[in-house]
Chains A and B, each alone.
Chain A
Amino acid sequence: DTAVSQTPKYLVTQMGNDKSIKCEQNLGHDTMYWYKQDSKKFLKIMFSYNNKELIINETVPNRFSPKSPDKAHLNLHINSLELGDSAVYFCASSIRGEVGQPQHFGDGTRLSIL
């Protein structure tokens, strides 16, 4: 059973296009996240949602719009894709509550902008 699943795994598209990445978790977690891992391998948080409510928006361009239709899903829509958006995007989830709850990650979506 996949705990955190992302689709698609690979996404190759042209500059200027709009694309979406989907994420689902079957762990019953309250909190979900989107991270961007660039070529230097830093994992940077983009958004955090708790019970479908946006908690963290780390100064991400408003071309990126997360949507959480329910606690188990957090999708990421990106408008007007730019070359600098090329990266691996990871979705994660965790239990809300005790400090330091581990995050469970999906296997990433590799986005390449041509």
Chain B
Amino acid sequence: SQKIEQNSEALNIQEGKTATLTCNYTNYSPAYLQWYRQDPGRGPVFLLLIRENEKEKRKERLKVTFDTTLKQSLFHITASQPADSATYLCALGNTGGFKTIFGAGTRLFVKA
């Protein structure tokens, strides 16, 4: 069955460093991959989209890579700030567009 794995352990980093989060998937050939941010008690908020034919996308301090051979995406936050502390969810979808599968997320703590 389709499976998405994100590091279940929290990631603790120092302010100013680069945070790197990993998303691995199996038994799936997604047309796209998305990253969302979720704060406690709130719904997920969309951050970035990368399509299967793209290797890398950037948006301000965020960068995402997509390796369909390794079946992996890396999500980077450069010059991290305490305000970046949240849970980050990886999500995959197919060309139909109606069904998106989410990972359980990785909790990021950025210490001042």
User: Interface on A for B, CB 8 Å cutoff?
Assistant: 4, 31, 35, 40-45, 48, 50, 55-56, 58, 90, 92, 96-97, 99-108
Contact = CB atoms under 8 A, between A and B. Distances in A.
17 contacts: A42-B104, A43-B44, A45-B100, A45-B101, A50-B98, A56-B99, A96-B97, A99-B31, A99-B95, A100-B51, A102-B46, A102-B49, A103-B44, A105-B45, A107-B42, A107-B43, A108-B43
A99 B41 contact: no
A109 B64 CA distance: 31
A100 B53 CA distance: 13
A90 B43 contact: yes
B103 to A, nearest CB: 8
Contacts of B98: 31, 48, 50, 55-56
